[in-house]
Amino acid sequence: MMTPEEAGTSPPQGLERKVATILSADVAGYSRLMAEDEEATLRTFHSHKEVFEQLVALHRGRVFNTAGDAILAEFPSAVEAVRCATEIQAALRTRNDQLPPPRQVAFRIGVNLGDVMVQGRDLLGDGVNVAARLQAAAEPGGVCVSGSVYDQIRNKLSLGFKSLGEQHFKNIPQPVRTFAITEGEAGGVIPSPAALRRGGVRGTVKALAAVVLLSLGVGGGYWAYMGWQRHDEERARMLAEAGVLRQEAERREGQARAEKQAAEEAQRRAELERQATEAARREAQIAAERARAEQALRSVEAEKKRAEEQARRLTEELRKKEDAVRQVAAVRPPPSPSPAPAAPLQAGGAGLDGLYAGPICYGPAGNDSARCYRAQGILADGKITGNWPGRDSRMTMILSGAVSTSGDVTIEIHGERANTPVWWATINLAGRLHDGKLDATGSFTGNGRPVSLNWQRQSP
C-alpha cells in the first residue's frame, strides 16, 4: 500500500488536524491470489470485506478510504480499534478455515494513534502512514500496534503482546515502538512476526507438540496435543457464541428502530386526529353561529312583516274613517236659517268647513325618538273634532277645538282608555287656518314634548 508521501502528494495548507486511531489493513499475497484465480479471489475478498466493514461499524468506527485490497478505518477510541482488529482476524480465520490453504485470503492489520489531517472525509499525515507501516510489519492474520496504542490499551484489554522493539520504517523519520498481539481476548492465538518466521501458527503448534512428545513420551505428547485441539475447539465455540450475540444485538437494535418508528407513526396519527377534531369543532361552531344569524334574520323579517301589516291595517282603518267622514259631510242637512246667522269662515271667498287630515309630529323626548303619524278632524260651524286609535291599541286619541272668524285655531288632544274616566297624554295646540291649511304647534302638558300639526282640507 503506497503512502501519500510515496505518491508524491503533500497536504494543502489550512487543513483541520485532530488525534485519531487509524486501522490499516491489506491482503497478504493479493497479487499471487489474483494471478492464480481472479474471480474466486474477488468473491472471497468481497465476502471478507463485508464482515470487516460490519465489525468496524459495530465498534463505532468508519472506513474512510479503500484502494484495491487496502482498507483504512478511523476510530475515536484506541480500545475499540484494537478490539475490532482482533475480532476481524478471528472472524476471517473461521471463514478461511473453510477454504484450501492456497486460496485463503488473510489480512495484515496495523493500528496507530496519532495526529492526522482532515481533507473532506479522508485523513492524511504521519498518523496514517505509521498505521500503514505497522500493517506491513504484521504477519498474515496478525495485528501490530504502535507504542502509543499499546500505552492506551494494555490495562484495558485481556490480550497477549510481544514487543518487537523500536522499528525503523520507510519514510518515517523517528523509530516506532512496535508490539504484535499474540493472543485475543477469547484466548485465541494470533500470528506474530516471530512465530510466523518459524513456520506460522501451524508450524508453531507442530513444533511445540514435538517438544512435548520428546520430553514426556508418546502418551504425554498425545494428551498435550489433545489439549491444543480442545483449545482450538473452545476458541471456535466462543467465536460462534460471539457471532450469535452480535446477531442478537443487531436484531434487538432493529426491533428498537421498528418500535421507535411505530411510536413516531402513532404520534403523527394522533396529531392528525387532533387536528381533524379541532377542525370539526370549528366547523360545528361556525355552523351554529350561521344558524343563529339566520334565525335572527328570520326574526327581523317576521317583525318587519308584522310592522308592515300593522301599518297597512292602520292606513286602511284611517281611509275607512275618512270615507265615513266624507259621507257624513255629504248627507248632513244644511243649517236652519236664523234671524241673524253668523258669517261663515272665509278664506279667499270660499267656506272652510269640511274634513282636514295630515300629519301630527312629536319631537324627541327621553328614550322616544321623534315620530309622525297621520290623523284627521272635521271642521263645522267653527268647531273641529276628531278621534283615532292611539299607539297603544287600548287607547283612543280625542281631538276638540275652535276656529275664530279671523282664522285663529285652538286645539286640545288627549287620550282615553276604554272604561276609564281618566284622560291621558293631554296636548294643547294653537295656530292658524288659512287657504285650506291648518297649521298648529304646542306641547304635552306633562313633559313639554313639542307637537306640531299640519293638516290640509280634503276634497269632498
Q: In this structure, what CATH number is given to the domain that contains residue 48? A: 3.30.70.1230
**Vertex 324 angle, CA 322 and 329, to 5°:** 95
Q: What pLDDT is stored for residue 56 in this prediction?
A: 97
Would residue 251 count as lying in a domain? Answer: no
Q: What pLDDT is stored for residue 337 in this prediction?
A: 52
Would residue 243 count as lying in a domain? Answer: no
Domain's final residue, options 197, 221, 253: 197
> To the nearest whole percent, how much of the chain has pLDDT over 90?
62
Domain's final residue, options 147, 163, 197: 197
Instruction: Read off the C-alpha cell for 322.
Output: 275618512
Span of 46-55, 386-395, 406-415 with lowest mean pLDDT = 386-395
The number of folded domains in the chain is: 2
User: Distance between CA atoms of 315 and 309, rounded to whole angstroms?
Assistant: 10
Q: Give the mean pLDDT of the chain.
A: 83
State how far the alpha carbon of 201 is from the alpha carbons of 114, 142, 194, 222, in Å.
31, 10, 10, 19
Q: Which residue has the higher pLDDT, 287 or 238?
A: 287
Would residue 440 count as lying in a domain? Answer: yes
Q: What pLDDT is stored for residue 137 in this prediction?
A: 95
- With cut-offs at 50, 70 and 90, classify the pLDDT of residue 39: very high
State how far the alpha carbon of 28 is from the alpha carbons of 90, 94, 102, 185, 230, in Å.
16, 17, 12, 24, 29
Query: Do 183 and 89 touch, CB atoms closer than 8 A?
Result: no
**Vertex 116 angle, CA 113 and 119, to 5°:** 145
Would residue 116 count as lying in a domain? Answer: yes
| Tens-place pLDDT, residues 74-103 | 999 999 999 999 999 999 999 999 999 999
- Check pLDDT > 80 for residue 136: yes
- Check pLDDT > 80 for residue 328: no
Would residue 28 count as lying in a domain? Answer: yes
Task: Give the torsion sign (CA, 426, 428, 433, 438).
Answer: negative
Total count of residues recorded for the chain: 460
DSSP string, 239-296: HHHHHHHHHHHHHHHHHHHHHHHHHHHHHHHHHHHHHHHHHHHHHHHHHHHHHHHHHH
Q: Is 71 helix (H, G, I), strand (E, B) or coil?
A: strand
Instruction: Read off the C-alpha cell for 376.
Output: 284627521
Residue 103's domain comprises 16-197
State how far the alpha carbon of 266 is from the alpha carbons of 138, 261, 273, 278, in Å.
53, 9, 10, 18
- With cut-offs at 50, 70 and 90, classify the pLDDT of residue 330: low
Q: Which residue has the higher pLDDT, 455 or 155?
A: 455
- With cut-offs at 50, 70 and 90, classify the pLDDT of residue 112: very high
Nearest residue to 75 (alpha-carbon basis) of 49, 114, 106, 108:
114
Q: How many of the other CB atoms lie within 10 Å of CB of 79?
A: 15
Q: How would you classify the pairing of strands 354-362 and 450-457? A: antiparallel
Span of 50-64, 153-167, 324-338 with lowest mean pLDDT = 324-338
Would residue 227 count as lying in a domain? Answer: no
User: Distance between CA atoms of 284 and 278, rounded to whole angstroms?
Assistant: 10
Query: Do 413 and 427 touch, CB atoms closer than 8 A?
Result: yes
State how far the alpha carbon of 77 is from the alpha carbons of 83, 126, 253, in Å.
10, 18, 22
| Tens-place pLDDT, residues 202-240 | 443 343 333 333 333 433 333 333 444 444 555 555 565
- Check pLDDT > 60 for residue 348: no
Instruction: Read off the C-alpha cell for 144.
Output: 501490530
Mean pLDDT calculated for residue range 100-107 = 95
User: Distance between CA atoms of 443 and 127, rounded to whole angstroms?
Assistant: 115
Q: What does pTM read for this prediction?
A: 0.43
Would residue 268 count as lying in a domain? Answer: no
**Vertex 282 angle, CA 277 and 283, to 5°:** 95
| CATH number of 413's domain | 2.40.128.380
Domain's final residue, options 197, 215, 240: 197
Would residue 452 count as lying in a domain? Answer: yes
